[in-house]
Amino acid sequence: MAELVLTGGNVWLDQKGMVAADIVISKGKINAIVAPGTGAGEEVINVTGTTILPGAIDAHIHLGHGSDISRPRMPSDAMTETAAAACGGVTCFIPYIMSSEPYTPVFDELKSVTEAGARIDFGFHFVIATEAQLSEVPFLCRKGSPTAKLFMNIRGEEGARLGLPGTDDGFMYRLLETLAAENGMLCPHPENIEVAWVLRDRVMRREGPDNDNLAAWNATRPPFVEAEALSRASYFGKITGSKVHGVHTSSAAALEAAVMQRNAGSDVSIETCIQYLLHDVDSDIGALGKVNPPLRMASDREALWAGIVNGQIDTIATDHIHRPIDSKQGGIWKAQPGFPGLDTFIPALLTASKERSISIDKILPLISRNPARRMGLKNKGRIEVGADADFAIVDMNARWKVSNGSLASDAGYSTLEGQTMTVKVIHTLSRGVFVLRDGDLTNDSVGKGRYVPRMLAPVSHVT
């Protein structure tokens, strides 16, 4: 007999939309989807009044240790941030691992230290910045981490800030060739930093109160700086035959550039992040909102929402960074870039889409099916027989306010503090295990998360 049955909820199925059904779970998998009230199992959980969604997959986070965003170092790093993920309805995430040293000697350690604290499943992307790391790409792909990040902006002083050596377009080209040979994919951070330095120096020479705000930061790295770099990476992807995933697309210009390259034959998928859908340069969050690429104009935010509706954007992520709030001290010029977002991911995204009257069928694939397909997570991202029993069970009519004091991330703050949400995650299950139950984190889920090896499908885009 199956171990668990979820009964009484409305279930989102890719091909059918919302249906009333029972979900039968056995050995961490979906065993059956049956008529309401007909599921049989050792434990039957009544979730009447809720909506059962496929657990979200956040393919862009940074899992670090304290102020260091490069890698997890203690099980507690994974424990807190996978707890935040569960609160936000995320059942699998893929952090970027960053180092100036080779990854082969530490791969098993990274896997074991993360599994020791993880409440949900995870993968890895590796930042490639050195010749030694470039030579490791085939090994990393064979280990199930076929997606590599290149910071296109890591040159000169920008690289020193993150402890990484500088790279150039020749390095990117060779990395793309290697990824193409290994059925891998490049996730480039697209910014033309040489131009950004010129613009930064001009902005910093200005005087007045308007020189220490989000608009000033945007002016140092404007949309065309992002668009040019993303276009360049995508074009080289076409030349080398490599897939490219355009991470944290923040502007109308960058979206247009990626779509243009896609139409010209590049295998490029487009990710945006929730902050670019919710905030812009006029948001009243000050240096908390400093991020790279920067928050943009309201018109860029509208262009991204339009890209969701018309199918141009493939995935939505958080780019979650859990540095503590003191990393934001010193105003816009001294604050560290990035901020957390896992705790509120599904509630904030669905609240905003409801306010815009955007149907849920436009949103859910971008946080479940699409990232699963693009990132090679073959058993995740959908509710169907045989898939992992990963669910975000939500109340679509709840009203609650985001409070820094109730967040699970060890960052301890949110850019959405005080805002009212109209969707709330009630339960989160990862492979049939309750991580969040009746709004509370479970103790026995710690250490149940596992590293999931990935293999990319040899198909274009996310179709």
Residues 265-290: tens digit of each pLDDT: 999 999 999 999 999 999 999 999 99
Q: Residue 401 pLDDT > 80, yes or no?
A: yes
| Mean pLDDT to the nearest integer, 411-431 | 98
What's the rounded Cα separation, in Å, for the pair 296 and 334? 19
What's the rounded Cα separation, in Å, for the pair 463 and 452? 22
What phi and psi, each to the nearest 5 degrees, are found at residue 338? 100, 160
Task: For residue range 194-231, list pLDDT tens digits in order.
Answer: 999 999 999 998 877 778 999 999 999 999 999 999 99
Nearest to residue 144, comparing CAs of 374, 381, 455, 371?
Answer: 455
Q: Residue 1 pLDDT > 70, yes or no?
A: no
What phi and psi, each to the nearest 5 degrees, are found at residue 391? -140, 145
Q: What is the pLDDT of residue 458?
A: 76
What's the rounded Cα separation, in Å, for the pair 118 and 450? 7
The overall average pLDDT reported for the chain is 96
Measured between alpha carbons, how far is residue 105 from residues 30, 62, 65, 133, 182 in Å? 36, 20, 19, 11, 21
Pairing verdict, β 433-437 and 440-441: antiparallel
What phi and psi, each to the nearest 5 degrees, are found at residue 49? 90, 0
Q: What is the pLDDT of residue 163?
A: 79
Task: For residue range 45-77, list pLDDT tens digits in order.
Answer: 999 999 999 999 999 999 999 999 999 999 999
Q: Residue 463 pLDDT > 80, yes or no?
A: no
Concatenated DSSP letters for 229-253? Answer: HHHHHHHHHHHHT-EEEETT--SHH
pLDDT: which is higher, 2 or 42: 42
Q: What is the pLDDT of residue 158?
A: 73
CA 443 to chain centroid, in Å, comes to 25
| N- to C-terminal Cα separation, the chain | 36
Please, are residues 219 and 333 in contact by the beta-carbon 8 Å criterion? no
| Mean pLDDT to the nearest integer, 376-401 | 98
CB atoms within 10 A of CB 319: 26
Buried b (16+ CB within 10 A) or exposed e, 323-335: beeebbeeebeeb
CB atoms within 10 A of CB 166: 16
What phi and psi, each to the nearest 5 degrees, are found at residue 73? -120, -20
Q: What is the pLDDT of residue 365?
A: 98
Cβ contacts of 352 within 8 Å, gap of 6 or more:
277, 278
CA 444 to chain centroid, in Å, comes to 25
What phi and psi, each to the nearest 5 degrees, are found at residue 159? -70, -40
| Mean pLDDT to the nearest integer, 233-260 | 98
- Full set of structural domains in the chain with CATH: 4-52+386-409+420-445 (2.30.40.10), 55-375 (3.20.20.140)
Which tokens in the block code for residue 110?
A: 């990274």
Q: What is the pLDDT of residue 219?
A: 97
Pairing verdict, β 391-395 and 51-54: antiparallel
Q: Express as a percent the part of the chain with pLDDT over 90.
A: 93
Nearest to residue 235, comparing CAs of 268, 274, 206, 269?
Answer: 268
Q: Residue 417 pLDDT > 80, yes or no?
A: yes
Q: What is the pLDDT of residue 321?
A: 98
Q: What is the pLDDT of residue 462?
A: 54
Task: For residue range 320-344, list pLDDT tens digits in order.
Answer: 999 999 999 999 999 999 999 999 9
Q: What is the pLDDT of residue 459?
A: 57
